[in-house]
Structure 1
Amino acid sequence: GWSPKNNEEMLSMEDLIRLFSVDGVCISPAIFDEAKLRWLNASYIKNMTEEEFIEAARPFLDASKVGGKYDYSLLAPLLIPRVEVLSEIPSLVNFLEEFGEYDIAIYDHQKMKTNGALALKALRAALPAIEGMKEWDMTALHDLLVATAENSEMKKGQMLWSFRIAITGQASTPGGATEMAALLGKEECLRRMRFSMDLLERALA
């Protein structure tokens, strides 16, 4: 194996060519450390611009369930800090097209004191407010959800948690409530909110 004398781990091709010397070649075989390689690959991805990432990720995005259905420029900033290898991308985004029946237990969060009943209350309050939005602006949506939470005597985190799960059907997502809403669009968010409200009403009856 070979390594530079300064033990630097991230090198460009130009740096490798410039620094390489047979003096640095060891007779012992190089160690193939997959965890280290994944970390190194993730580091290169994090250093990409969004445009570079989209170009590299496009084949994997196109082959996923979201291919051609979502704005890749909105997905890029969510994926760059989370992707270790590009082949992981479909598993991180497919949930956007897999929305359906889910276990309402995912609304339960002990620290935030949320559960299905509180989520239903949050959604009932938020739905008409969102329906009345003239423009699908994420700053305005965030402010609206926070104001609706205050008017409903709940914490903003409880509202945002409930809203995000309602529109994704997932306990964890590669972005927050408004980031998911930006991807889905207003009408799809409203459709999913109504679906989730019906799901909660049936489960809590």
Structure 2
Amino acid sequence: KAYYCFCQPEELEAERQQSGEKGEMIGYSGKCRSLTAEDVAARLAQGIKPTVRFRVPEHKVLVVDDLVRGAVMFETDLLGDYIIVKSDGIPTYNFAVVIDDYLMEITHVIRAEEHLSNTPRQMLIYDALGFELPQFAHISLILGSDKQKMSKRHGATSVLQYRENGYLPEALFNFLSLLGWSPEGENEILPAQEIIQQFSLKRVSKSPAVFDVDKLNWLNSQYIKKMSPSELAPLLKPFLQDFPYQEELNRLTEEQYLLLVSAVQERLVSLKDIKEEAAAIFAPLGDDSYEEEARKVLSQPAVIPVLQAFKEQLTAADDVEANKQLIKRIIKENQLKPKEVFMPLRCALSGVTHGPELPFLISIWGGEETIKRIDYTLYMIETAVEG
């Protein structure tokens, strides 16, 4: 089943070159196949260190019954006698892995499609040793967005890196399970237990999967949205280390912190986003705080009465529901459209036209800070009019 090969690297290279020049298949010629016991003993006595080659049967077809790819055929004549033990006595991968898997009683070998070409060589060793064959399944590669094999240049490659970047374990598990496998039905947001119950190699794709970061971000945001504020709150705290407005953050009560979480929850793609979202809430207003669209809104004549009415009637800023009712009352009393109140208030308090729900922001800031922001905007409007 195997034999010593004393061919030296330079001899093998010369053989390869000659085969290439003749247009023949490049492989081992079998030169040492027919060495007698005396020939072997003589070479060993000379101190020549041999390799051990597997004697591949000729003119046969091996069929790999792959659980993903179906029947894959290999002609033994194209394999050539391959090395199973190197001249330094170290076994090669194809030999060692068979022994290792047999001793560990491996029943299924599931690996990348790159190893499919190794399988016939391993099957021959299994057969030669009288070992029972495991079942093989060769999974397609995972590609980057450029359709090239995934590597470090495509971004984070360690699970720890994804955790540090604010991805939830359950979202990452869900995402990775969908790379090359599809569940029954249309729903792709599945808890781990359901994925485990549904998983079958029959639904594993033969085509390469693309590691789509946009899809991972979407899945992660969906898992964040599904959490309750009390579940999400402690997960966000590690990402608020070195927060630029730490003093303001520390002044929040536990209830206000939960309101902060509720206010930004819909906007988070990863847990890491909390720092930017929270900073936008706590950043003080200044001349350069107002975006151009916000300045246009604040330049409308009806804005000042709305801001003054809100300032005069604000009594329970810490109560989200009271803030909602106050805004509704101003709309009704002034016979205005909701947008004609909500938009001026948002622009006046935050300097931007879009953001978290206004009643939540007011409760997070509290009455003093909210009035301070209204006063600053009124001053800014009056200064602009006088200018």
- Same-fold call, TM > 0.5? yes
Contact 2:316/2:323, CA 8 A, preserved across alignment: no
- In the TM superposition, what is the alpha-carbon distance from 1:188 to its structure 2 partner? 0.6
8 Å Cα contact 2:263/2:361 also seen in 1: no
Q: Deviations over 1:65-85 (max 9, x none)?
A: 455344321022222322222
Q: What does residue range 58-69 of structure 1 map to in structure 2 within 5 Å? A: 58-67=237-246, 68-69=249-250
**Cα distance between partner residues in 2 of 1:84 and 1:134:** 32
Partner of 1:196: 377
Poorly superposed stretches of 4+, deviation over 6 Å: none
Q: Unpaired runs of 5+ in structure 1?
A: none
Say what the alpha-carbon RMSD is for the aligned residues. 2.8
- 1:160 counterpart = 2:345: no
Change (3 A) 1:20 1:181: same
Which moves more between the two structures, 144-153 or 48-57?
144-153
Q: Distance in 1 between matches of 2:205 and 2:269?
A: 29
User: Which of the numbers 330, 333, 355 marks the counterpart of 1:173?
Assistant: 355
| 8 Å CA contact 1:105, 1:116 repeated in 2 | no
CA spacing shift, 1:146–1:108, aligned 2, 3 Å: farther
* SS of equivalent residue, structure 2 residue 194: helix
- Deviation of the 1:43 alpha carbon: 1.7
Q: Write the letter of the residue equivalent to 1:95.
A: A
1:123 to 300, 307, 320: 307
Q: Does residue 187 of structure 2 align to residue 2 of structure 1?
A: no
Give, in whole Å, the separation in 1 of the partners of 2:183 and 2:321: 49
Looking at secondary structure, tell me which structure has more helix per residue: 1
Per-residue displacement from partner, 1:93-129 (whole Å, max 9, x unpaired)?
Answer: 21122222234751535xxxx7443222322233223
Contact map agreement 2:316 2:322 (CA 8 A) in 1? no
Q: Equivalents in 2 of 1:40, 1:83: separation in Å?
A: 11
1:31 aligns with 2:210: yes
Aligned residue among 260, 264, 278 for 1:93: 278
Uncovered stretches (5+) of structure 2, i.e. residues with no partner: 1-178
TM-score (norm. length: structure 1): 0.79
Q: How far apart, in 1, do the equivalents of 2:277 and 2:294 lie? A: 18
Q: Distance in 2 between matches of 1:91 and 1:26?
A: 39
Q: Is the 8 A contact 2:245 2:279 kept in 1?
A: yes
Task: Describe the shift of the 1:21–1:138 C-alpha distance in structure 2 as closer, same or farther (beyond 3 A).
Answer: closer
Aligned partners of 1:87 and 1:66: how far apart in 2?
A: 16
**C-alpha offsets along residues 111-162 of structure 1, whole Å, 9 cap, x if unaligned?**
xxx74432223222332232xx267433333333443455455444322322
In the alignment, the residues of structure 1 paired with residue 316 and residue 263 of structure 2 have an alpha-carbon distance, to the nearest angstrom, of 26
Aligned AA (2:278): V
Query: CA 1:72/1:48 → structure 2, altered by over 3 Å: closer, same or farther?
Result: same
Superposition deviation, residue 199 in structure 1: 0.8
Q: 1:42 to 1:137 in 2, by over 3 A?
A: closer
What one-letter code is carried by the residue in structure 2 that aligns with 1:54? A
Q: Which amino acid aligns with 2:362?
A: A
Structure 1 counterpart of 2:294, which letter?
Answer: I
Which residue matches 1:183?
A: 364
Q: TM-score, normalised by structure 2?
A: 0.45
Partner of 1:78: 263
Letter paired with 2:269? E
Larger Rg: 2
Give the count of matched residue pairs. 198
SS at match of 1:117: coil
For residues 338 and 207 of structure 2, the distance between their equivalents in structure 1, rounded to whole angstroms, comes to: 57
* Per-residue deviation, residues 5-24 of structure 1 (Å, max 9, x unmatched): 51552233333333334444
Deviations 1:22-78 (A, max 9, x none): 444444332111221111112211221222211222222444445534432102222
Percent identity of equivalent pairs: 23
- What's the CA shift string for 1:175-205, capped at 9, x where partnerless? 12x2211110001111111111111110121
SS of aligned partner of 2:302: helix
Q: 1:137 to 1:97 in 2, by over 3 A?
A: closer
Distance 2:328 2:207 in 1: 60
> Secondary structure of the residue that 1:56 maps to in structure 2?
helix
